[in-house]
Structure 1
Amino acid sequence: MNNIVLEINELCKDYPDFSLRNVSFSLPMGSIMGFVGQNGAGKTTTIQLILNMINRNGGEIKIFGLDNVQDEQKIKQDIAVVFDDTYFVENWKVSEVEKVLKGFYNNWSSTLFNQYVKSFHLSANKKVKELSKGMKMKLMLAVAMSHEARLLILDEPTSGLDPVARDELLEILGNYIADGRKSILFSTHITSDLEKVADYITLVDDGSIFYSGTKDDLLESFYIVRGGPHDLTDSLKEKIIGLTTNIAGFAGLLPTSEIEHLAPEVVTETPTIDEILVSISKGGRNHD
């Protein structure tokens, strides 16, 4: 059995003021992939194309080995999507959410839904509008998980959540993929969450893929470098991504392969995902 859950090849989408260009990446089964990039980089467009909400100009998307357009109805029985806010009717009670939605899914389990409602401490008689943002997120996850979705797509689910609620969400996601048969595409601006749970990172910048691979490989591929004004040679300047300079010196992102050529006075630090993202958003050479 193919262990690739989501496979995207040469995906393109053109708008008057933005283009998604030749986007390719794949998500292995049983893993969490962080999908990151600054606002307007193409994350939401890519997710909309995966869900066949908009038409593409080129490329191919396969989910569970099936074409996402030709086999859309079959695929959507086995995927779930959680956005940054609920679109359930505000006056629905938690129990009514299940009554309305369970008819759409062949694999819906009322037993599972009730288990999640109980474990998430959701009151079945509370209305959606009475729930906190964190509780609404848990309700959306309960719905997503109650039909045993094999691919869970999250678009900014932790936005606006307090640290405790975010930590609870990450624990839920870790438990969900623990059987090795489910996968998560996790789009978020809170990259510290991805450092805790992601196996893979796909980083999109201005409509193109800058990096797609394991999280560990990404973090090991670069260093943050800092030095004084006299340490910044013309050669080094060409190699640094997201170079910033001031009267005290410079800082930026440098591929690990270039570290051996640095002057001893230059300080190197292991970057965070956030620092990598900020550096590439400022521009500079591309990562091969």
Structure 2
Amino acid sequence: MMRVNKVLEITDLCKSYKDFSLKNVNISLDRGYIMGFIGPNGSGKSTTIKLIMNLIKKDSGQIKVLGLDNIKDEITIKEKIGFVYDENHFYENLTVQEMKGIISPFYNKWDENVFEKYVKDFELPLKKQIKHLSKGMKMKFSLAIALSHNAELLIMDEPTSGLDPLIRSELLDVLQSLIQDENKSVFFSTHITSDLDKIADYITLVNKGEVILSKSKEELIEEYCIVKGSRDILSPEIEKIFIGIKENQYGFEALSHNKNEVIRRLVDSVIIEKPTLEDIMIFSTRRSEQHVSSY
């Protein structure tokens, strides 16, 4: 079978509820990369993931995974996806070994050697009941299952939420080593943007059901900047180069997506800093309010 380079293609995806709509979402992820999918709670991240997994029905648009239609080719696709999400979806009274025994027959390409390798790496207690595992251990078990059937796309919904920093760091290391062979990709939905500062290649930001931006992390860090300065330099003309502005009694802080323009016009009168993904998310999603009077 021909190797498809586009691992995930979402085109004009729409889904409406009574009080929320996902509007014309477009996302594209190539093989061998990690995409961070970010946005405030309630912005549409989980809805998008449920639509990819065909757990809910879309209103319109198209979702392709590895070149295949996510509805027509659902069974083939689910063989190729590893799914890890925040809530535990295992039978609590079973042991790790018993639960693995139930899941593994569902996958044609289940590889027991790979599973055993992760059991060893993650120090998973095979004879322990799942209800007695810590949240970090449950996440490692989820990940071990997801990685043991030769999945080409790993979809993760808030996987690091509520984990201690050590376990989170371990998880991020596993994800980074996973894509070294350039055969697998990761779609990582989270509101903990500092995790993505470390490992993401691409960032897609959603807010109120719409994609605000979708770019490589390099481009974002290159193009965007945080600007700090005195309020007296703000004018309607200058404000046009900012995405969002926070003001307080000492001055202002703003985000711009045109670092070169800021340097050209303001370099001597402001401090220019590299933004974090959190800066970009907070300022971009507050855009409609434009001014926030205090921190």
Normalised-by-shorter TM-score class: over 0.9
Structure 1 position 58, deviation (Å): 1.2
**Quick check: 1:273 aligned with 2:283?**
no
Residue 244 of structure 1 aligns to a residue whose secondary structure is strand
**Quick check: 1:82 aligned with 2:73?**
no
Moved more, 20-29 or 245-254: 245-254
Residue 29 of structure 2 aligns to a residue whose secondary structure is strand
Distance 1:165 1:244 in 2: 35
Structure 1 gaps, min length 5: none
**Quick check: 1:261 aligned with 2:265?**
yes
User: Residue 223 of structure 2 aligns to which amino acid in structure 1?
Assistant: S
Distance 1:3 1:194 in 2: 23
Moved more, 261-270 or 207-216: 261-270
Distance 1:210 1:262 in 2: 26
Deviations 1:244-274 (A, max 9, x none): 1122111111122431222621111110000
Moved more, 201-210 or 269-278: 201-210
Distance 2:10 2:148 in 1: 27
Distance 1:40 1:79 in 2: 24
User: Residue 244 of structure 2 aligns to which amino acid in structure 1?
Assistant: G
Distance 1:229 1:115 in 2: 58
Query: Do the aligned partners of residues 276 and 83 (structure 1) sit closer, same or farther apart at CA in structure 2, a change above 3 Å counting?
Result: same
Structure 1 position 131, deviation (Å): 1.0
Match of 1:54 among 38, 56, 60: 56
Residue 5 of structure 1 aligns to a residue whose secondary structure is strand
Match of 1:192 among 191, 194, 200: 194
CA RMSD of aligned residues (A): 1.5
**Quick check: 1:176 aligned with 2:178?**
yes
**8 Å Cα contact 1:105/1:147 also seen in 2:** yes
The answer for the alignment partner of 2:46 in structure 1 is: 44
Structure 1 position 31, deviation (Å): 0.8
What TM-score, normalized to structure 2?
Answer: 0.93
**8 Å Cα contact 1:225/1:268 also seen in 2:** yes
Structure 2 gaps, min length 5: 291-295
Question: Counterparts of 1:97-108 in structure 2 under 5 Å?
Answer: 97-108=99-110
Query: Do the aligned partners of residues 145 and 251 (structure 1) sit closer, same or farther apart at CA in structure 2, a change above 3 Å counting?
Result: same
Residue 240 of structure 2 aligns to a residue whose secondary structure is helix
Distance 1:145 1:22 in 2: 31
**Quick check: 1:109 aligned with 2:111?**
yes
Distance 1:2 1:106 in 2: 20
The answer for the alignment partner of 1:282 in structure 2 is: 286
Distance 1:99 1:168 in 2: 26
Work out the number of aligned pairs and report it.
286
Deviations 1:144-180 (A, max 9, x none): 0111111100000001111110110011111222211
Match of 2:146 among 144, 147, 169: 144
Distance 1:120 1:73 in 2: 29
**8 Å Cα contact 1:240/1:285 also seen in 2:** no
